[in-house]
A and B are shown apart, each in its own frame.
Chain A
Amino acid sequence: MLVVEGLTKRFAGLLAVNNASLSVAEGSITGLIGPNGAGKTTLFAMASGFLAPSAGRVLFTGEDITTEAPHRRARRGIARTFQIVKPFAGLSVRENIAVGAYLRHPQRAETLASATLIGERLGLGPQLDKPAASLTVAGRKRLEVARALATEPKLLLLDEVLAGLNPAEIRDILPLIRAIRDEGVTIFLIEHIMQAVMTLCETVHVLARGEIIAVGPPDMVCADPKVIEAYLGPGAAARLNAAEAPRA
């Protein structure tokens, strides 16, 4: 569904993403993990059109969309959420979702009906008429997802929607993400919370210092020495193995 080929982003002297290639299979939940500053959000920004890559290509359903503006990608069916949530603070929750829903429904009545439905589904029912500024962190994260979902996407890019939530809130939202996928929306997510990545994702890509260093099912990737070293520093994998060896 989404294919990224040799994507590179250079900010002056800093190489944020270096020749990264990956693909997201249709109907999958695919994860992108990596230590802080690895370039995950930069890669997302290039996939959704908010940043122009220095080199490389982005393909969506086989078509090259590397130079397309974000709103055109949204029309094609790519929706994204923002790690730093961006609610339309002055509007009500329903109106927030409606902006997304207007993409496929030009009529106000249909749009509002669709927004209400999606809001309720994401557990925002009681807050629909309240200003978005009054939502809690968890509420704002849900609103990000609701708005993106209202555009009726084929591919949903979720940038750390679980960050800042407490364990109970995470438990509530995980089945929701899976349900969205079961309805046919492909999901590509950045996440730090490993428990969530392990339970949700079928395939995980690991990005470290701008480069993809591992791909595979989550349990395999987590055992990969290269991945452990990327998180914990050089030599960490060997030390971990040594520490576990006597016990075994």
Chain B
Amino acid sequence: MTLRDVLPHLGFLFALAVVPYLGVSGPTLNFLIAVLIVALAAQGWNVLGGFGGQYSFGHAAFFGSGAYATAILQVQLGWGAWVGLGASLVVGAIVGLAIGFLSFRAGLRGSYFALVTLAFAEVLRIVANAAGFTGGAAGLLIRLQPGFENLQFADRRHFYLLVLGFVGVALILSRWLERSRFGAHLVAVRENEEAAKALGVDTLRVKLGAIALSAAITACSGCLYAQYYLYIDANVAYGTWISVEALLAPIVGGIGTAFGPLVGALALHGVGEATKLLAGGRPGLDLVVFGGCLILAIAFAPRGIAGLAARVLQSRSAAREGR
């Protein structure tokens, strides 16, 4: 992969990096940080679901494990936040490998895989709600101590940039998937597993690699969530909401593309927020709009916003050649 391959991606990241310095209000910045955290979770989902075609309904399992890993280390054992961040990635990957090993070795795919991941996430939620070291139903509160060493920032813009940094890493990783042998193997597994095997692809290993990477990215998102709101409980960390968010964004933005999850998360939440503003106090209307967007995406743009953009670009260049 050369610099030219990632130029548009770096440009996009740079544009996002400038946004907080354009005088945006506190609530807007808050909103953007929340969207980026969701986008990161969605980027993780997209590695396994988008590129690998293994649709997980339970990415909350990884999000929550990442969030709890850092929170437990900090609150119960007094470790530093940066160590917690590293631990989140490792724990996420391990949880991913474990779930992947159990389900892929049993040959589960399609809706069976989706249901099993959902079940794993629910089991983790119930355990986290009951166990002592997770704070039980009361959850865990990370002590407020602003400072770089504690991964807490008095200036929210710095936290925004931190999250954006991770989103950027995930974006470049996704781009690498589009251009590398591992990515080609992963896509081959999505398109036809038997044919991939015949061409020398070790499909089990490719899927395990993908779920580990996917889980680590989503766990990182969970860790940042805990770090930003400084409080988690089982229903937030292992809640179905994040499983749904993680798969909605890529589907709307462009499944299996590098930009998809990021664009999808920004678009969905942008529309959702706009609806909330326009609808005033009526609750739940943004969710109705979410559902509407999903239906529209599946019906008219099965390859999402990224696919739509590619089609427009293609027909434009075709028209130019025609002249």
Q: Which A residues are within 8 Å of any B CB, using their own CB?
A: 48, 50, 69-71, 74-75, 79-80, 82, 86-91, 95, 98-100, 102-103, 106, 108, 111, 147-148, 150-151
Give the CA-CA distance A99 to B183 in the complex, in Å.
Answer: 10
Q: In the complex, which residue of chain B has the Cβ closest to the Cβ of A76?
A: B200
Q: How far is it, in angstroms, between the C-alpha of A124 and the C-alpha of B187 when the chains are bound?
A: 22
What are 18 A-to-B residue pairs whose CB atoms are below 8 Å?
A50-B194, A71-B201, A71-B203, A74-B198, A75-B200, A79-B198, A86-B195, A88-B195, A90-B187, A99-B184, A99-B185, A99-B199, A100-B199, A106-B181, A111-B184, A147-B195, A148-B198, A151-B199
Complex: how many Å from CA A230 to CA B191? 39
A88/B198 in contact, CB under 8 A = no
Alpha-carbon gap, A79 to B196, bound state (A): 11
Q: Nearest A residue to B200 by beta-carbon distance?
A: A74
In the bound complex, residues from chain A placing their C-beta under 8 Å from that of B315 are none
Which 9 A-B residue pairings sit nearest by Cβ, starting from the closest?
Answer: A74-B200, A88-B191, A86-B195, A103-B200, A70-B197, A99-B188, A100-B199, A102-B181, A86-B192
Where chain B touches its partner, the secondary structure class is helix
Task: Evaluate contact between B191 and A91: CB separation under 8 angstroms.
Answer: yes
In the bound complex, CA of A87 to CA of B198 (Å)? 12
Bound-complex Cα distance A108 to B1 (A):
9
Chain B residues near A69: list those with CB within 8 A.
197, 202
Contacts of B185 in A (CB 8 A): 99, 102
Residue B179, interface by CB 8 Å: yes
B195 closest partner in A (C-beta): A86
List residues of chain B with CB within 8 A of the CB of A103: 199-200
Q: Nearest Cβ distance between residue A129 and chain B, in whole angstroms?
A: 11
Contact of A48 among B191, B198, B202 (CB under 8 A): B198
CA separation between A121 and B33, bound complex, in Å?
52
Chain A residues within 8 Å of B184, by CB: 95, 98-99, 102, 111
A71 touches B197 (CB 8 A): yes
CB–CB B199/A108 < 8 A: no
B interface, size bucket: 20 to 34
Contact yes or no, A82 B200, CB < 8 A: no
Q: Are B198 and A70 in contact (CB under 8 A)?
A: yes
A1 to B225, CA, bound (A): 59
**Contact assessment for B198 and A80 in the assembled complex, using a CB-CB cutoff below 8 Å:** yes
Chain A positions within 8 Å of B190 at CB level: 90
Question: Contacting B202 at CB < 8 Å: which of A71, A87, A108, A151?
Answer: A71
CB distance from A172 to the nearest CB of B (A): 24
Q: Who on chain A is nearest to B53 by CB?
A: A90
Q: Shortest beta-carbon distance, A48 to chain B, in Å? A: 7
CB-CB nearest in chain A for B187 = A91
B200 proximity list for chain A (CB < 8 A): 71, 74-75, 100, 103, 151
CA–CA, A80 and B200, complex, Å: 11
| Minimum CB–CB distance for B314 against chain A, Å | 11
> B191 contacts which of A75, A90, A108, A111 (Cβ < 8 Å)?
A90
Task: Determine how close the nearest CB of chain B comes to the CB of A188; give it in whole angstroms.
Answer: 14
> Please, which residues of chain A bring their CB within 8 A of the CB of B196?
99
Whether B195 pairs with A82 at a CB distance below 8 angstroms is yes
Residue numbers in B under 8 Å from A89 (CB-CB): 191-192
Q: Does B111 contact A (CB under 8 A)?
A: no
Which residues of A are found within 8 Å of B179, using beta-carbon distances?
A: 108
Tell me the complex Cα distance, A100–B203, Å.
Answer: 14
List the A side residues contacting B30 at CB < 8 Å: none
Query: With the chains together, A70 CA to B184 CA distance in Å?
Result: 18
Q: Does B180 contact A (CB under 8 A)?
A: yes
How close is A148's CB to chain B, nearest CB, in angstroms?
7
Please measure, in the bound complex, the distance between the C-alpha atom of A106 and the C-alpha atom of B184, giving whole angstroms.
Answer: 11
User: Once the chains are docked, how many angstroms separate the CA of A99 from the CA of B189?
Assistant: 10
Contact B198 A82, beta carbon cutoff 8 Å = yes
Do B192 and A87 touch across chains, with their CB atoms under 8 A apart?
Answer: yes
Instruction: Give the shortest distance, in Å, between A157 (CB) and chain B (any CB).
Output: 9
Residues on the A chain within 8 Å of B198, using CB: 48, 50, 70, 74, 79-80, 82, 148
Q: Shortest distance in angstroms between B194's beta carbon and chain A's nearest beta carbon?
A: 6
- Sample of 10 more A-B contacts, CB < 8 Å, known A69-B202, A71-B197: A50-B197, A70-B197, A70-B198, A80-B198, A82-B198, A87-B192, A95-B184, A106-B181, A148-B198, A151-B199
| Residue among B180, B192, B200 facing the most chain A CB atoms (10 A cut-off) | B200
Nearest-CB residue, chain A, relative to B256: A90
Contact between chains at A88 and B181 (CB < 8 Å): no
